[in-house]
A and B are shown apart, each in its own frame.
Chain A
């Protein structure tokens, strides 16, 4: 991806410029698309890995400590260091970025999902067992639906922080909008480019968050009366 700058007509170095956005709409859209697709894939993969982990931590209490501790240590490791560990093996490219952001999103989702599952009232669990639900049936019909608010909180937090984290992917040349921001900094500190990248990042996080909040409302109709 190359970031061609054109700043005819507009003098100086404005913080925002429609001229820049118009002239470079292709580049901007490509960066936005890459950013959104990296975020979407990362959250999806993280959720698919995190949910079984959370269920394992819920079923086998002894494993809850180690699973949470491991994800906690992963979370303390700075993102740049994680890139440094993975890049020599996974190479320069999208796979490295994806792996790093998935690892971070994992912790957030696991932690919230475990909290959500642990909040299922014991009476409800007993009642389900009394009605003859087996372990799996109870999981899918009782535990998971009741833990859904916690899981969704985790997914929303993970999504918002993933949008911000993808920008660090600049270090391996696949930072989505981060690429735009960084190029703006290198191209004589072109403020409009930096600002456009930043605003789109924040907007993307906001839109995805609202989208997930909407999905959450659709999935948990029984909470709707209460939250108001």
Chain B
């Protein structure tokens, strides 16, 4: 039996889905971890990015953060954070994942506000809106396509990276792959590939769903800029 057939057999066994620590458990862990990390990332990155974009300062800082996080291995953060005050367990993993969600969210929030039509900004000023009002009522709505693109990139990246949480026994679907490697490559080959299929399938599914969401939340007149936002999102986060 070749490994792919073994993988099909493994996936076909209902016990592998419903056992404690089976696929369904791991999927739940994977999703809850990812959701928490993305939310945490949004809470930190969006206000900062919007504010930096509004004031027009800190472009260099945004770039620096993207470049530095690109160079830090995920494995390093996953192993370092549990040894700090965060302690072992879910919080440390979530924070580590959130760190990698920040650059795309931050860069897109910043660019989203920066690219707002200066004339619209001037007009809002002329109508007597204060700085905060301009940000909330003009720049923020115009930045929505960029925010959505950043959200999509960040979420897909977090879902992908969450597989690595298994290195520190953080749970998630990666655990299935690790367990497969823990057996023997001959005996565990099927399980390894099955785990890979689940992890990859989840990432592609999230990517597809969020592409749809992104289209829905983008106001019709702004849909033209969506492509540009996507491209920028890709540029801002090249590398995982």
Contacts and interface: CB of A to CB of B under 8 A. Distances in A.
A108 B181 contact: no
B75 A184 contact: no
A202 B192 contact: no
Interface stretch (A79-87, A139-147, A211-219): A79-87
A168 interface: yes
Contacts of A165: 73, 240
B240 A85 contact: no
A51 interface: no
In the complex, which of the residues B71, B74, B163, B234 has the most CB atoms of chain A within 10 Å of its own CB atom?
B71
Interface in A97-149: 104, 108, 111-112
Contacts, number: 146
A163 B75 CA distance: 12
In the complex, which of the residues A85, A158, A175, A184 has the most CB atoms of chain B within 10 Å of its own CB atom?
A85
Contacts of A160: 67, 70-71, 239
Interface in B64-88: 67-68, 70-76, 79-80, 82-83
A84 B193 contact: yes
B203 A77 contact: yes
A60 interface: no
B144 interface: no
B83 A164 contact: no
Given A80-B164, A157-B238, A194-B80, A167 B200 contact: no
A209 to B, nearest CB: 8
A73 interface: yes
B178 A198 contact: no
B204 A73 contact: yes
A3 interface: no
B73 A164 contact: yes
Contact of B239 (A76, A161, A202): A161
Interface in A191-208: 191, 194-195, 197-198, 201-202, 205-206
Contacts of B159: 78
A181 B75 contact: yes
A88 B238 contact: no
A164 B167 contact: no
A24 B61 CA distance: 36
Interface residues of B, number: 44
B203 A181 contact: no
A81 B163 contact: yes
B207 interface: yes
A89 interface: yes
Given A197-B76, A201-B73, A84 B168 contact: no
Contacts of B228: none
B91 interface: no
Nearest to A112: B238
Interface in A171-203: 171-172, 175, 177-178, 181-182, 184-185, 189, 191, 194-195, 197-198, 201-202
B4 to A, nearest CB: 9
A164 B71 contact: yes
In the complex, which of the residues B70, B76, B196 has the most CB atoms of chain A within 10 Å of its own CB atom?
B76
A75 interface: yes
25 contacts: A76-B160, A76-B203, A77-B200, A80-B174, A84-B199, A87-B185, A88-B185, A88-B192, A88-B193, A92-B185, A164-B72, A164-B74, A167-B73, A167-B76, A171-B181, A177-B73, A181-B76, A195-B80, A197-B76, A198-B80, A202-B68, A202-B71, A202-B72, A205-B71, A209-B71
Interface of A: 73, 75-85, 87-89, 91-92, 104, 108, 111-112, 157-158, 160-161, 163-165, 167-168, 170-172, 175, 177-178, 181-182, 184-185, 189, 191, 194-195, 197-198, 201-202, 205-206, 209
Given A164-B70, A198-B80, A205-B71, 7 more contacts: A73-B204, A87-B192, A181-B79, A185-B79, A189-B83, A201-B71, A201-B73
